[in-house]
Chain A
Amino acid sequence: MEFETVIGLEVHIQLSTKTKIFSGASAAFGADPNENIDPLTFGLPGTLPVLNRQVAVSAIKLGLALNCEIRRFNQFARKHYFYPDLPKGYQISQYEEPICEHGRLVIRLDDEIERVVGITRIHMEEDAGKNIHDARTKSSLIDLNRAGVPLLEVVSEPDIRSAAEAASYLKTLRQIARYLEISDGNMEEGSLRCDANISLRPTGQLKFGTRTEVKNINSFKFVERALNYEIARQLSILKGGGQVIQETRLFDSTSGTTHPMRSKEESADYRYFPDPDLPPLIVEESWVEKVRSKMPKLPEELRQMLIEDLGLTPYDASVLTAEKENVDFFLECYQVSKNAKAASNWITSELFGLLNKDERGIADSPISARNLGELLTRIDGGEISGKMAKEVFEEAFKTGQSPSDIIQAKGLKQISDESELLPIIEQILETSPNQLAEYFSGKEKLRDYFVGQVMKATKGSADPKKLNLLLDKELGRRKDG
């Protein structure tokens, strides 16, 4: 029997606001333990939460980017559970009335195949603190810096059909969050956390199979690995005639496997109810429109533009739009040089090559987009050769000097003027009577020899196009003459 995989993802996106969702304590990552705390973070009596407006704006932005309906009347709910990383005994979240619903996200496989994944909901909530368990001293160490840091939880429909699709979904969601500048999407630092609901069903069956929830997938590297392991595990159970148990499983990146989480004594009873401390949040249409008018162009739109209007390949368009900084750099470079293909090639091969070697991002590029554009204009104008440009480029990258300065300082100039180039060609042919005779007797490969000699004589600065043209003309003249 053939089986079909069904995956739904719950992704927590940590927002990169300066402060926490309900208090003015810093939300920065990497502070010393319990440095970013205040009475509210500690849940001390008498404290009252006040919503960070930026969190609502971020939720609306993401909702619009994922084609969601934005709810007008919102309230926050208390989700009760006891755990030391949550001092007040409940998490402030949204329950039956999430701010965004009924959206969709277009994902791609191999730059070509397009799939649409439904977005069930997006809601705002606060993060919990961090626990470090120490079995040796039988204690847990609590750091409450993260408690109260704003999160958006994005829940997908069970529309994902493979581990590769899940990875693409996550990548696309991260890309959009970064374009919107609402989160850095850093999975290793926990800014993006993913739980996956996975089930298998006989192909063609409508009813879902029994699912497991896989938690603790904390790196992009592991998304496909964790899901493929769980798919294979369920498949072998079902093929052996067994039944999958509904449970939560943890992914262990060291072994690459999943194992059941210690089951709780009783099923969770969160006793949700509206938080009376927080007045309702009303999102009027005019607010939504104001946010919409300030939305940046999203990767999918830019990708289409690069392919359809600028003639780039789907692959190059995907590479350039992967990060907002990359496509911004490309567009600025293109503004100057007006040669999209050259700009794309130089950025994706030369520039990324050198940046990767130094483990630098494009934001730290020693060559600005304008300067690269100018360099490309000089190639297209025949002023310098591609080979020279590469030299200049490397020098500019190393020293931070502008390409124009380097070209001027080195006296680099392509010889493309006929009055300058022709005498050199004539002289080479004059001084190589034997090679010329051999050439005329049929050894056509010797043409390359003449090209090489001219290049040598001009120290590589002859314009190859012009050189070929003039050489052919000159050889033809001598043959006829």
Chain B
Amino acid sequence: MNDNTNAQRLVDIAEIKRIARLARLDISETDAERFSSDVNGILNYIRKLQELDTETISPLSHVHGSHNVFRRDEQEDYDKREKILLNVPERSGNFIKVPLIIDQESN
């Protein structure tokens, strides 16, 4: 009804940049502005749902209604291990080699 007239900036450019950083995405200033406007468009559209009274409804995380889907603790051999490792950008023997990352550990 009044989506356009009442649109709010729910997510600013700084927030878009923060999300990009968390997802390890490198985005330009122009991208950040464009995403901010896109994301705000989406959020404002969805905001319509806020009008519903959800007071007595518990959060829904799964829609298909199944539960207790198990595996037995039995080994299933996978024979294409080497194929997976062939997709790795760089290897050292059977290790996967990546640029030095010391973020959570010491020296």
Contacts and interface: CB of A to CB of B under 8 A. Distances in A.
Interface in B87-107: 92-107
Most buried by A among B94, B95, B96: B96
Interface string B67-94: 1111111111110010011000000111
Given A33-B94, A133-B102, A19 B75 contact: yes
Closest 5 CB pairs of A and B: A24-B76, A274-B61, A141-B95, A53-B70, A38-B78
Interface string A115-158: 00000000000000001111100111111100000000000000
Interface of A: 17-19, 22-26, 32-35, 37-39, 42, 44, 50-54, 56, 75, 80, 82-84, 131-135, 138-144, 216, 250, 252, 259, 261-262, 264, 269, 271, 273-274, 276, 278-282
Contacts of B64: 279
B102 A84 contact: no
Given A25-B76, A279-B66, A142 B107 contact: no
Nearest to B59: A274
Contacts of A17: 73
Q: How would you classify the secondary structure of chain B's contact residues: helix, strand, loop or mixed?
A: loop
B22 interface: yes
Contacts of B103: 83, 262, 264
Given A280-B61, A282-B68, 5 more contacts: A19-B73, A34-B95, A53-B73, A279-B66, A282-B67
Contact of A52 (B68, B73, B77, B78): B73
A469 to B, nearest CB: 63
A34 B100 contact: no
A77 to B, nearest CB: 9
A52 B76 CA distance: 12
Nearest to A32: B94
A50 B69 contact: yes
A276 B95 CA distance: 31
A135 B74 contact: no
A47 to B, nearest CB: 11
Interface residues of B, number: 37
Contacts of A38: 76, 78, 81, 84
B53 to A, nearest CB: 23
Contact of B93 (A33, A42, A52, A273): A33
Contact of A262 (B77, B99, B106): B106
B100 A138 contact: yes
A37 B73 contact: no
9 contacts: A37-B84, A39-B78, A75-B61, A131-B105, A133-B100, A141-B92, A141-B96, A250-B105, A282-B67
Contact of A259 (B92, B104, B106): B106
A54 B101 contact: no
A88 to B, nearest CB: 13
B99 A42 contact: no
Given A34-B95, A37-B81, A50 B101 contact: no
Contacts of A56: 70
A50 B102 contact: no
A37 B77 CA distance: 9
Most buried by B among A82, A132, A142: A142
Nearest to B73: A54
Contacts of A144: 96
Contacts of A282: 67-68
Contacts of A140: 97-102
Given A53-B73, A54-B73, A84 B84 contact: no
Contacts of B85: 34
Contacts of B84: 37-39, 42, 44
